Structure 1
Amino acid sequence: MKKKKAPTVYDVAKLAGVSPSTVSRFLNRTTYVSSEKSEKLKKAIRELGYETNQNAVSEGNRRSMTIGVLIQHPDSPFTSRFLNDMEKMLLSLGYSPVIATGHWQRNLENDALDYLVKSNVDGMIIVTGNIEEEKIIQVAQNIPVVAIGYQVKAPNVCSIQFDNTMGGYLATLHLLQQGHVNIAHIKGHSGQPDAINRFEGYKKALAETGIRYRANLVKQGDFSSELGYEKTVELIESNIHFSAIFAANDQTAYGAIKALTDNGYKVPEDVSVVGFDDLPTSQYFTPAITTLRQPIEEVGVICARSIINMLNGDPYETRIPPIDLMVRQSTRSIYEAVKEP
């Protein structure tokens, strides 16, 4: 006989006619929920036989039922994709996220992390950034930590990494295989691990194919479309020949393509452009952007499951799907261009 599926927060929310976040707030007692909604929720919980998956309310082991989430920038499409699936998973497990942002500034990241710790969260998810390893280990002495983009080997820490070096390598190799030799690179945030690793992948691909690295083809960006535009204009005005650009992320690629177009260049006829992240808008951009797809949504779910499993003393998963090259319209073989009349 097939085992009956246990009811979730979403089932309770549907029966009570409220949002999943309201259910979580009611269960966690983190904010006020009206008496009318509270009665509906109590009734729905009784009817469904819903039980939280932890022993948080037992004496001496009380949890806040919240998970701290440190992100880099609230307006980032990367962040919103990650948070969406992560929050759904946390809510289904009876937890609510408490989100703070560092705005890509080390001092603000540390302040935000301290704020989350003082908020009495049960666990912490750190999404990239510049937090020092010692700080992560310090936090993990009291609560479990899932750290994305870090390689911290310490008790109570689960490190999850995208292979950004391989991603940068694949992006550059794709352009090399299409005959491009003079490949510019617009980097991400200075000192940020993802940006550093993508740059290393770029240099590795050049070295393996015998292409000399040229510092004048590399510009320091910050993952924004604004600097993607500005740095591409600098490349154009420098009169240094380049036939392709590897942008540190899709937002940088958007700015690069706009700068090229504004200055009379066609993409990909004159210059090919590769991005990184595969944001939802990239396939609808003109031209559709060739990019490296990161399994962002999947990682959001893995992080949520891992932090709860760590809290409950259960095994947790750190393996994530690989980065994939998505070839679209923003890149073109130089050999094809030569064949055209």
Structure 2
Amino acid sequence: MAVTLAEVAAHAGVSPATVSRVLNGGYPVAGGTRTRVEQAVEDLGYVANGPARALAAATSDLVGVLVHDVADSFFGILAGSLQGALAPTGEGARRLAVVCNTEGAPEAELAYLALLEGQRAGGVVLTGGAVEEPEHTSALTARLTRMAAAGAPVVLCGRPPLPLAPGLPVATVMFDDHGGAFRLAEHLLTLGHRRIACVAGPPGRSTTRERLTGHREALRRHDPTLPETCAPLTVHAGFERSAGYDATRELLRRGESFTAVAAANDTVAAGVVAALKEAGLRIPEDVSVAGFDDLPFCVDTAPALTTVRLPLREAGVLAAHLVTGRRALPPGGITTLPAELMVRGSTAPPPPEGSRP
């Protein structure tokens, strides 16, 4: 039986009129009251749209695509290829992709999913690393379970699977972040680097965890003492260019010597390069720099950036086919796409001891 507005009001301890004002927007509601109402809506699984409640099992041609930052090339490529595969041309496509920019905020992710559920979305694709917080994971799992049970396929693209009940139309498309980071660190070690700095992504993100674990495993396999040696050279930062720049300035300020930097992604690597050049260091003669993702600008930097290529366009097309049912779910519901090391001019053997400026 559908949850009523009165039930939401009782759960939140407010009047039905207040619930209506929160859901409709445009009316002043105290922040604490708004939070209680939104939590009640989430807890009870209330769908605000009346026709949507009456047709809870029906779905539309709308597919929601959640991204962290649509201005980031990583998400732009993913969303663009996915939207292209859903375009209203050709047989079997004809879907409207709605891109939702969450800015990586867990509350925005849940809010957009609630809106998509209210619009009876015919499917949803969540892209990018997941926020690894138990409370958010639980709320996200509950929301996606309801949507999938109502007939809206769910695709997790570039993030780990969730503990959803078996039998639901849910697929996971993962990148081999761990293996890619392992091979990148292995490349730097083979060149002779032992003081390898790592500008990792923000903590509490699945992408950060996978890439940092792969990086450290390569260090440990080469020499069990290296993870401890390089630990002071690891800095957590955001995924933006400015984060890479600031993190590198912090590493230089500490006075710790390093001959290579493995960045969380290519955008961060661009900030790393800028900070090193500003400090008078040459790349790769003094410091090697490597990124991750292989975004289009990597081949145009000077020198061209060594990085790990992720098949972003292929992932977008695959996600589109899975969310529309044009491709059957793989065994276990999980597909892992490979990561390829791309060696370019930004990495080279370290300078001889004592020769670094």
TM-score normalized with structure 2 length: 0.73
Aligned counterpart, 2:141: 134
Aligned counterpart, 2:290: 274
Deviation of the 1:84 alpha carbon: 1.4
1:184 matched to 2:197? The reply is: yes
Aligned counterpart, 2:215: 202
Which segment drifts farther, 212-221 or 286-295?
212-221
Which of 147, 167, 170 is the matching residue for 2:156? Answer: 147
Which segment drifts farther, 159-168 or 247-256?
159-168
Which of 154, 163, 187 is the matching residue for 1:174? Answer: 187
Aligned counterpart, 2:313: 297
- Secondary structure (helix, strand or coil) at the match of 1:268 reads coil
How far, CA to CA, are the matches of 2:344 and 2:56 in structure 1?
56
Q: How does 1:18-167 map to 2 (within 5 A)?
A: 63-91=59-87, 92=89, 93-128=93-128, 129-130=130-131, 132=137, 134-135=141-142, 136-142=144-150, 143-148=152-157, 149-152=159-162, 154=164, 155-167=168-180
Aligned counterpart, 2:234: 218
Which segment drifts farther, 295-304 or 185-194?
185-194
- Secondary structure (helix, strand or coil) at the match of 1:161 reads strand
Contact 2:79 2:99 (8 Å CA) reproduced? no
Deviation of the 1:102 alpha carbon: 1.2
CA-to-partner distance for each residue in 1:82-134, whole Å, 9 max, x for gaps?
Answer: 11111111114010101212101111222122222222211111112326252
Deviation of the 1:336 alpha carbon: 8.7
CA-to-partner distance for each residue in 1:281-308, whole Å, 9 max, x for gaps?
Answer: 0110111100000000000000000111
How far, CA to CA, are the matches of 1:170 and 1:90 in structure 2?
34
**Aligned AA (1:76):** D
Identify if the C-alpha distance between structure 1 residues 308 and 267 changes in structure 2 by more than 3 Å, giving closer, same or farther: same
Identity of aligned residues (%): 29
Identify if the C-alpha distance between structure 1 residues 60 and 137 changes in structure 2 by more than 3 Å, giving closer, same or farther: closer
**Aligned AA (1:299):** A
Contact 1:100 1:113 (8 Å CA) reproduced? no
**Aligned AA (2:161):** Q
CA-to-partner distance for each residue in 1:174-228, whole Å, 9 max, x for gaps?
Answer: 1001000010101112211111100001110111111233321110111110010
**Aligned AA (1:268):** P
How far, CA to CA, are the matches of 2:103 and 2:148 in structure 1?
23
- Secondary structure (helix, strand or coil) at the match of 2:227 reads coil
Contact 2:182 2:215 (8 Å CA) reproduced? yes
**Aligned AA (1:115):** L
Identify if the C-alpha distance between structure 1 residues 60 and 284 changes in structure 2 by more than 3 Å, giving closer, same or farther: closer
Deviation of the 1:63 alpha carbon: 4.2
**Aligned AA (1:145):** V
Identify if the C-alpha distance between structure 1 residues 290 and 115 changes in structure 2 by more than 3 Å, giving closer, same or farther: same
Aligned length: 278
Deviation of the 1:156 alpha carbon: 1.9
Which segment drifts farther, 125-134 or 325-334?
125-134
1:259 matched to 2:249? The reply is: no
- Name stretches of at least 5 consecutive residues in structure 1 with no aligned partner: 1-58
Contact 2:63 2:95 (8 Å CA) reproduced? yes
